[in-house]
């Protein structure tokens, strides 16, 4: 491509470090789309003839067909996807192929291709997050009133419902999807036409190519156009946060699957056995999802360090943007699909969950609240009386609900038998009717809201 200035071939190591076709072939369809829009614009503005454009468009459609058929020859000697396409175009239509690169550089070409790829990845991730939210919402609806312990510090805290717990993740994944939509809106400006770095002397129509490629507008500074990769950093940040949420849910599935918790069952479809221990049923998919955040956050770190300190405009360092970004989105998408499958698959062991919901004096706060409401005790005093009741129940080896009334009256004479109506996990959860609380009716209201959003 630059034989005019060069007379010798590159050293083999030069080629080895420079070549990118092995990974940037993933930009093939974006590269063709960019070239189709560019050629149409060059003809419309009279920079090339319509006959030349017709030939170029024909050649590009042949190349696209070869790519779809898997017969396109990706060749190392042509370095990257842009030059592979151009070299093939020349083989197919002859010297007219050379007119396609008028008013364009690989710098704005790669900026465009990569932006298109990241934009699609954001759209896919947002859609897959919505699928996961749908699976969670469906499961939550079926188990809106199933009691389970709510934890703080992983210690029994207050009873909640399984539906409520699942809907907490629907909120998180909803914000994750919104982050991808925000990033998409910000990146949706077209860098094509910035050329190498300074713009073009040809009468190009950047509005036209921007519109053809689904962008809101062209980018407004040619130096920034070829130098910016913050759209990818932003997408990777959104991916990292989503992966963090996935890892938290994955960790809970791992915990719930243990015989010690025994809260859920996963079918054989989402578990593996052990080659030595016949009794094992391992939640490998959940463990791998828990781990993927390492790779995804690693990609964000990797690209951030690549971009840090780079002077304007394009530097070849930026070729290192692709592998981490591809890797991160591959990992995120696989995690989202596997998690969606696992959520649909898992079944709660409701009796076991309900029994655990009452363990660990989880209705102690309800006793304290009853003392405040019924006997008008200041909350701090009620907290103290309740602490003594828990201590006494512990000594007697019984739950709070099974403490004899006389024992409670020994702590405060005003206590009567009505107190037992608030000491069961079901009563505790049903009482938490504040907006967003765990009362089954509140949970169902949030499920309905999300079903409308996700429809």
Binding site for ligand ARG (CB under 6 A): 20, 24, 80, 106-107, 110, 314, 316, 318-319
State the Cα–Cα distance between residues 388 and 348, nearest whole angstrom: 34
Q: Residues 7, 153, 275, 434: which is the catalytic one?
A: 153
Give least dist CB 316 to ligand ARG, A: 6
Task: Say if CB 333 and CB 128 are below 8 A apart.
Answer: yes
- Which CB sits closer to ligand ARG, 259 or 311? 311
Q: How do 155-161 and 189-190 pair as beta strands?
A: unpaired
Give least dist CB 186 to ligand ARG, A: 21
- Which CB sits closer to ligand ARG, 48 or 318? 318
Give least dist CB 303 to ligand ARG, A: 13
- Which CB sits closer to ligand ARG, 77 or 182? 77
Give least dist CB 318 to ligand ARG, A: 5
Listed in sequence order, the residues at least 6 apart from 361 whose beta carbon sits closer than 8 Å to its beta carbon are 156, 390, 393, 394, 399, 400
Give least dist CB 73 to ligand ARG, A: 18
Nearest to 145 by CA among 346, 430, 359, 357: 430
> What number of CA atoms fall less than 13 Å from residue 333's CA on the CB side?
13
Give least dist CB 340 to ligand ARG, A: 33
Listed in sequence order, the residues at least 6 apart from 367 whose beta carbon sits closer than 8 Å to its beta carbon are 382, 386, 389, 400, 419, 422, 423
- Which CB sits closer to ligand ARG, 106 or 164? 106
- Which CB sits closer to ligand ARG, 299 or 424? 299
Task: Say if CB 283 and CB 271 are below 8 A apart.
Answer: yes
Q: For residue 25, with 0-12 CB atoms within 10 Å meaning exposed, 13-18 middle and 19 or more buried, which class applies?
A: middle
Give least dist CB 26 to ligand ARG, A: 11
- Which CB sits closer to ligand ARG, 92 or 323? 323
Give least dist CB 322 to ligand ARG, A: 6
Q: Residues 274, 302, 383, 421: which is the catalytic one?
A: 274
Q: What are phi and psi of 229, to 5 degrees?
A: -130, 10
State the Cα–Cα distance between residues 111 and 116, nearest whole angstrom: 9
- Which CB sits closer to ligand ARG, 40 or 318? 318
Element of type H or E holding 149? strand 147-152
State the Cα–Cα distance between residues 103 and 204, nearest whole angstrom: 8
Is 429 a catalytic site residue? no
- Which CB sits closer to ligand ARG, 319 or 365? 319
SS3 124: helix
State the Cα–Cα distance between residues 42 and 153, nearest whole angstrom: 63
Alpha helical stretches, state H, 397-439 = 405-411, 425-431
What DSSP assignment string belongs to 166-234? HHHHHHHHHHHHHHHHHHHHHH-EE-TT-TTTT--SS---HHHHHHHTT-SEE-S-HHHHHH--HHHHH
- Which CB sits closer to ligand ARG, 24 or 205? 24
Q: Which residues pair with 158 in a beta bridge?
A: 150
Give least dist CB 167 to ligand ARG, A: 43
CA angle 122, 124, 127 (to 5 degrees): 110
State the Cα–Cα distance between residues 222 and 194, nearest whole angstrom: 4
Q: What's the token pair of residue 264?
A: 């859920």
Is 227 a catalytic site residue? no
State the Cα–Cα distance between residues 368 and 246, nearest whole angstrom: 36
The catalytic residues are 153, 274
């Amino acid at each position: 491509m630059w034989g005019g200035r060069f007379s010798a071939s590159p050293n083999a190591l030069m080629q080895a470090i420079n070549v990118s076709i092995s990974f940037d072939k993933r930009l093939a369809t974006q590269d063709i789309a960019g070239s189709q829009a560019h050629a149409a614009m060059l003809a419309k503005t009279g920079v090339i003839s319509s006959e030349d454009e017709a030939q170029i468009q024909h050649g590009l459609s042949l190349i696209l067909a070869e790519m779809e058929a898997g017969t396109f020859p990706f060749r190392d000697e042509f370095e990257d996807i842009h030059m592979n396409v151009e070299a093939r175009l020349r083989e197919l239509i002859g010297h007219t192929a050379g007119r396609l690169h008028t008013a364009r550089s690989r710098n704005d070409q790669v900026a465009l291709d990569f932006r298109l790829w990241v934009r699609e990845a954001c759209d896919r991730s947002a859609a897959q997050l919505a699928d996961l939210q749908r699976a969670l919402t469906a499961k939550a609806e079926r188990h809106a009133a199933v009691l389970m312990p709510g934890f703080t510090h992983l210690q029994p805290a207050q009873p909640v419902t399984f539906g409520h717990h699942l809907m907490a993740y629907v909120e998180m994944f909803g914000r994750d999807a919104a982050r991808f939509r925000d990033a998409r809106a910000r990146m949706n400006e077209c860098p094509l036409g910035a050329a190498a770095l300074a713009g073009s002397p040809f009468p190009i129509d950047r509005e036209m190519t921007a519109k053809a490629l689904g962008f809101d507008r062209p980018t407004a500074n040619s130096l920034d156009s070829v130098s910016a990769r913050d759209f990818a950093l932003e997408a990777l940040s959104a991916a990292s946060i989503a992966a963090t949420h996935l890892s938290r849910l994955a960790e809970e599935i791992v915990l719930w699957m243990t015989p010690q918790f025994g809260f859920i069952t996963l079918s054989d479809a989402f578990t593996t056995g052990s080659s030595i221990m016949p009794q094992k049923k391992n939640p490998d998919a959940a463990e791998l999802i828990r781990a993927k955040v390492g790779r995804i956050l690693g990609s964000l770190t990797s690209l951030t360090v690549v971009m840090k300190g780079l002077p304007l405009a394009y530097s070849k360092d930026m070729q290192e943007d692709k592998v981490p970004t591809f890797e991160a989105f591959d990992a995120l998408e696989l995690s989202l699909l596997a998690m969606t499958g696992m959520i649909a698959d898992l079944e709660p062991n409701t009796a076991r969950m309900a029994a655990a919901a009452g363990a660990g004096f989880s209705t102690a706060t309800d006793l304290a609240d009853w003392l405040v409401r019924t006997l008008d005790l200041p909350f701090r005093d009620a907290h103290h009386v309740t602490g003594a009741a828990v201590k006494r129940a512990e000594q007697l080896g019984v739950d709070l609900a099974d403490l004899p009334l006389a024992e409670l009256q020994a702590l405060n004479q005003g206590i009567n038998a009505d107190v037992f109506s608030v000491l069961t996990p079901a009563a505790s959860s049903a009482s938490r009717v504040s907006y967003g609380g765990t009362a089954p009716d509140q949970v169902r209201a949030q499920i309905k809201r999300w079903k409308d959003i996700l429809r």
